[in-house]
Amino acid sequence: MARKTKTFRDATSARHAYRRASAISVREVEGEWRIEFVGEDGDGWRKKALRLLGLTGLSGTRFRDGQLLHLTGKERKGLDEVHPLLLVEDLSPVDGAPTLGAVAGPGANFLWSQIRGEVRRLDVDTLVGVHLVGPARVTIPLPFVLHRHHAKA
C-alpha cells in the first residue's frame, strides 16, 4: 500500500522541491522503493487513473537492469512486478535540468506511450517525481515521492 506519511504538505510544495532536487543516475536508484502520493485525491481521480493503467494496489517500484517495474499487491503476500518502463538519463521537459526519466518501450499500449515519469534525489533514501502526459508532455499536478525500502533482516 502507498505510504501514509507526509513528506510535503501539498502538491505545489512537492513540485517546487522537484525543481530544486538533484539528478540521480540509473545505477544509484537500483533496488526497491515505496510510493507516497502527494496532495488530496478528493474526487478519486488518482484511483481511477491507476485502475485504468492496470496499477490497482500500487505500492512502489523496483529499479533493476535499467528498468522501472511497478509493484502491486500486498507485501505480506508478495508483490507483482507489472508494466516495465525504460530508464533514461536526460534533460527534463519541465525545466531543462538533468533528470532520470521512465518511458514506455517499443510495443507499449497507447496509454503507456503517452506517459513519462521523472524522479530526482531529495536525499539518499528519498526521490521526488512528477508525471508528464501526452505529446506536449504536460505535467500532471500529482507529484509523488519514493522512499527507499530497506528489507528487514
Please tell me the distance from the alpha carbon of residue 132 to that of residue 103, in angstroms, as a whole number.
Answer: 10
Domain coordinates in residue numbering, the chain: 11-148
pLDDT at 49 over 70: yes
Which residue did the predictor score with more confidence, 102 or 49?
102
Give me the chain's average pLDDT, please. 86
What phi and psi, each to the nearest 5 degrees, are found at residue 26? -55, -45
What is the dihedral angle through the alpha carbons of 140, 32, 112, 27, rounded to the nearest 10 degrees? 90
Q: What is residue 61's predicted lDDT score, i.e. its pLDDT?
A: 93
CATH class of the 11-148 domain in this structure: mainly beta
Q: What is residue 4's predicted lDDT score, i.e. its pLDDT?
A: 47
pLDDT in tens, 118-144: 999 999 999 999 989 887 778 776 789
Q: What is residue 80's predicted lDDT score, i.e. its pLDDT?
A: 87
pLDDT in tens, 58-104: 889 999 999 999 888 876 677 888 889 999 999 999 899 999 999 99
C-alpha cell at 102: 521512465
CA distances from 68 to 30, 32, 43, 112 (A): 9, 10, 28, 13
C-alpha cell at 107: 510495443
pLDDT at 153 over 70: no
Q: What is residue 44's predicted lDDT score, i.e. its pLDDT?
A: 77
- Please calculate the CA angle 104-109-115 and round it to the nearest 5 degrees: 45
How far is the first Cα of the chain from the last one, in angstroms, to the nearest whole number? Answer: 21
C-alpha cell at 128: 521526488
Q: What is residue 107's predicted lDDT score, i.e. its pLDDT?
A: 85
Please tell me the distance from the alpha carbon of residue 68 to that of residue 55, in angstroms, as a whole number.
Answer: 14
